[in-house]
Structure 1
Amino acid sequence: MPTPDDPHQSITRRVADLADEVWATACALHADPECAFDEHRAAALLSTALERGGYGVRRGVAGMPTAFTGEAGSGGPSVALLMEYDALPGMGHACGHNLIAAAGLGAALAVRPLLDRVPGRVLAVGSPAEEGGGGKVAEVRAGVFDGVDAALMVHPGVHSWSWAPLTAQVELEVVFHGRAAHPTGNPAEGRDALAALVQLYTTLGALRPHLPPGAHVQGIITEGGVATNVVPDRAVGRFGLRAATTTALRGLVDRVEEAARSMAWVTETTVEVHALREPYAHFRRNEALADRFAEHLPFALALPTPGVQLGSSDMGNVSVEVPAIHPFLAITGPGGSDHTPEFARAAAGPRAREVVLAAAEALAHTAADVLLDDGLRERAWAEFRERGRVEA
């Protein structure tokens, strides 16, 4: 039977006390959206709240002005609670990152008193630019997650799922260089860079239906010439690539690069292909941690529908380093979609309040379990090592 000082009872009471602050934080972020790497007010709001709650805060982590960590406790096991807070250009919090940040903050504040009684460390990690910059990629590279036993976060969605089938992803820029000429006066002297890019775009479009499940290529042309009476000597395209695993993504990148070189050879142009940022790894789920998180929720989580792919996240890069969870909790009904105005409105609606408080409490309970339960940590690490052996 639980004792009066049972840590889980204390966490439940603490989340109840924090409910208004957690929801006010979610609403403040929602009302003041900031995009990738410009989340200065969001980072200040969250890091200041952590300081008031007893965390030692470091700002400007990993060379990013809007990244931060809050740390409390020492010795023993270590758990990280992650916060995202960037918005989508022109759409605000249409992915619900205001709720991710508020839930992570609430969990960190709720579990903090436990560290006065038991050894262990809680790291609250503020990660910018998930939507297009990869703040967690830079934090992984800077060693932010070194020594962490579990990395925990939750994402709002249209389904409540215990883990997220997130693909590996990268964005490539392809630049063709040709030779300018007059299209009627001396067309034979020209080398049409735009024609090369259009041929590549068409070729990749024809490839798309034959890609394996989870793989995808989508492109846009960002530069295609300056005048209709000049053969374009430069053309630029961007292509988003996704694949079910990180290894499969590398193979898809090779195919795109080979196709670009072929188009350059056919059109007597030259081509450069480079990644606009480091790739996102596919997410490696950890069922030991995900199941424990689900036990602390007041509603049930389902497994993802077979064959469904939800996109990509830099949380995948964290999951390659340490055991991690990234469950989805529904704030809308099935049939909707995030990255829409409807989802943005839902991220400040009554269902969102219920979800963010349930998420904060379940995250805090799971963090406490990581600190207190040796067997859970051992199972999580064993699964992490096995999944790393069979997934790449």
Structure 2
Amino acid sequence: MDGGPGAVYDLIRREVAARANRLWDTAMTLHRDPESAYEEHRAAELLTSELTREGFRVDRGTAGLPTAFTAAAGSGRGPRVALLMEYDALPGLGHACGHNLIAAAGLGAALALRAALGDPEGSLLALGTPAEERGGGKATLVEAGAFDGVDAALMMHPGVHNWSWAPLTASSQVRVGFHGRAAHPTGNPTEGIDALGALIQLFNMLGVLHRRLAPGSHIQGIVTDGGRATNIVPEYAEGLFGIRGATTAALEALEGELRRCAEGTAAATGTEVTVERVGGRYEHFRDNPVLSGRFAGHLARAGIQLTEPEPGVYLGSSDMGNVSTGVPAIHPFIAIMDAADGSDHTPRFAAAAASSRGRRVLLAAAEALACTAADVLLRPEVGPQAWAALREKAAAGL
């Protein structure tokens, strides 16, 4: 495009501004009508309608997920950049993670960039990614090949910090079941093998293990089956354990520790044990400094300065980690309220996702995402630099 990168950025800014009210209306419609994981039918219809209206080719039901979609523009020859949208809400809390802003920002970036560039050389994708809060829609999309050939996967996340990337851990859930033998606790107690007692001993053992875990790693468990009656020695007891590790390798090591503790407990108590992962696994997030640096620079024009995360602080997990393992990716946090006022996954944060500050962040993020995507599509050096940075992190195990 004539006029150099600055002219493209200026045009993107004007295109975002021209759609500001529509984008905010989209965010507020999602906020008023929250839908939880895999149930986001109205959200997906709203977003795909907007994309179709402005000339994107839309395919619904990506990877067999009814509320996922892929919208595309461009020639298909050259770099491929994906702008990601999340739109699932939390049961009982609505958009207390701000996914309504994530969706509207990704939408705004896609619409503004296509309006600024027309159908660019390469591919501009807008991906609808359901079920981040529970189930891991992006993990399914990765496995189905939705990110194959993508050179940059871009999204933002509202938060209580202005951080250029997200310190997100790897996570999984593991079910542990102990099998014993029922008996009457007074009539024939010596014939019983107490499965619940074994499960309690596992919790005690994990409490000892917890003292030596590295920052970012933990095991949090609950009892999901503790028996049926107080006058029966429980023949079966079950616990569900959420495991996190600062890296995917740390998570795998911790899963192995849990298994060894469970097997040791079974041997000591005369029970039998089953250990199985429940659902998919979230990988740890690998920030791409080439792309996140460009995003931070673009966002600074709106007066929002991003910094590095605080050392040793971790903020949960996301299926965006699975994307970042194989594709250069960004996941910055942009504050819509102050950390002193609380955190996400709270009613106060849900209110912030519908606030005037939330609107300012939405529009600034949409512009910065679109400008970063333009860099990938128009600057030949950016894609190879981003891939080199990803390979370097992977080789270092980061």
* Structure 1 length-normalised TM: 0.97
Kept after mapping to 1: 8 A contact 2:56/2:71: yes
Distance in 2, matches of 1:227 and 1:305, equals: 49
Conserved 8 A contact 1:72-1:115:
no
Q: RMSD of the alignment, in Å?
A: 1.5
SS in 2 for 1:80: strand
| Residue equivalent to 1:305 | 310
Distance in structure 1 (CA, Å) of the matches to 2:133 and 2:361: 22
The alpha-carbon deviation at position 321 of structure 1 amounts to 0.8
Aligned to 1:342: 348
Deviation at 1:146, TM superposition (A): 0.5
Larger deviation, residues 158-167 vs 177-186: 177-186
| Contact 1:217-1:241 within 8 A present in 2 as well | yes
Does the CA contact (< 8 Å) of 1:180 and 1:233 recur in 2? Answer: yes
**Letter of the structure 2 residue corresponding to residue 30 of structure 1:** H
Q: Distance in 2 between matches of 1:90 and 1:352?
A: 21
- Residue 199 of structure 1 is aligned with which of 193, 198, 201? 201
> What does residue 362 of structure 1 align with?
368
Q: CA deviation at 1:4?
A: 11
Q: Which structure 2 residues correspond to residues 168-317 of structure 1 after superposition, within 5 A? A: 168-297=170-299, 298=302, 299-317=304-322
Secondary structure of the 2:262 match is helix
Letter in 2 for 1:366: T
CA distance in 1 between partners of 2:163 and 2:395 (Å): 24
With over 3 angstroms needed to count, the CA separation of the structure-2 counterparts of 1:177 and 1:115, relative to structure 1, is: farther
Q: Kindly indicate whether the alpha-carbon contact (under 8 Å) linking 1:11 and 1:364 is maintained by their aligned counterparts in 2.
A: yes
2:329 counterpart residue number? 324
Residues 115 and 121, structure 1, Cα contact 8 Å, conserved in 2: no
Quick one: distance in 2 between partners of 1:10 and 1:349? Answer: 27
3-state SS, counterpart of residue 266 of structure 2? helix
1:38 deviates by 1.3
Corresponding letter in the other structure for 2:330: I
> Following the alignment from structure 1 to structure 2, what is the Cα–Cα distance between the partners of residues 291 and 62?
31
Q: Residues 5 and 307 of structure 1: is their aligned pair in 2 closer, same or farther, counting only changes over 3 Å?
A: closer
Match for residue 25 of structure 1? 26
1:182, 1:229 within 8 Å by CA — same for their partners in 2?
A: yes
- Give the whole-Å Cα distance in 2 for the aligned partners of 1:5 and 1:226: 69
- Whether 1:36 and 2:37 are equivalent positions in the alignment is yes
Count of residues in correspondence between the two structures: 392
Q: Deviations over 1:331-366 (max 9, x none)?
A: 001222111111111111111000011111110111
AA of the residue aligned to 2:364? A
TM-score, normalised with respect to structure 2: 0.95
Q: Look up the match of 1:57.
A: 58
AA of the residue aligned to 1:40: H
Map 1:111-150 onto structure 2 (within 5 A). Answer: 111-116=113-118, 118-150=120-152
The alignment status of 1:371 with 2:377, answered yes or no, reads yes
Structure 2 partner of 1:352: 358
Task: Quote the Cα distance in structure 1 between the aligned partners of 2:158 and 2:248.
Answer: 24
For residues 118 and 34 of structure 1, do their structure 2 counterparts lie closer, same or farther at Cα, with a shift above 3 Å needed? closer
CA–CA distance in 1 between the matches of 2:199 and 2:57?
Answer: 51
Structure 2, unmatched stretches of 5+, are none
Q: Secondary structure at the match of 2:280?
A: coil
Contact 1:176 1:234 in 2 (8 A): yes
Please report how far the alpha carbon of residue 101 of structure 1 lies from its aligned counterpart in structure 2 after TM superposition: 0.8
Distance in 1 between residues matched to 2:229 and 2:242, nearest whole Å? 27
Residue 386 of structure 2 aligns to a residue whose secondary structure is helix
Task: Report the 3-state secondary structure (helix = DSSP H, G, I; strand = E; otherwise coil) of the residue aligned with 1:309.
Answer: coil
**2:97 aligned residue:** 95
Counterpart code for 1:323: P
What is the alpha-carbon distance in structure 2 between the residues aligned to residue 116 and residue 42 of structure 1?
Answer: 26
Quick check: 2:15–2:115 contact (8 Å CA) kept in 1?
no
TM superposition shift of 1:50 = 1.3
Whether the 8 Å contact between 2:15 and 2:116 is mirrored in structure 1 is no
- Name which of structure 1's ranges 241-250 and 261-270 shifts more when overlaid on structure 2: 261-270
Cα offsets for 1:4-54 (capped at 9, x unmatched): 993222211110011111111111111111111111111111122111121
Bigger shift: residues 17-26 or 6-15: 6-15
Aligned residue number for residue 391 of structure 1: 397
Q: Which runs of 5+ in 1 are unaligned?
A: none
- Separation of aligned partners in 2, 1:47 and 1:271: 47
What is the aligned-residue identity percentage?
Answer: 60
SS class of match (1:235) = strand
Aligned equivalents of 1:225, 1:364: Cα separation in 2: 55
- Give the ranges of 4+ consecutive aligned residues of structure 1 lying more than 4 Å apart after TM superposition: 1-5
Contact in 1 for aligned 2:196/2:227 (Cα 8 Å): yes
Do the aligned partners of residues 214 and 3 (structure 1) sit closer, same or farther apart at CA in structure 2, a change above 3 Å counting?
closer
Instruction: In structure 1, give the amino acid aligned to 2:151.
Output: D
Distance (Å, rounded) in 2 between the aligned partners of 1:5 and 1:223: 61
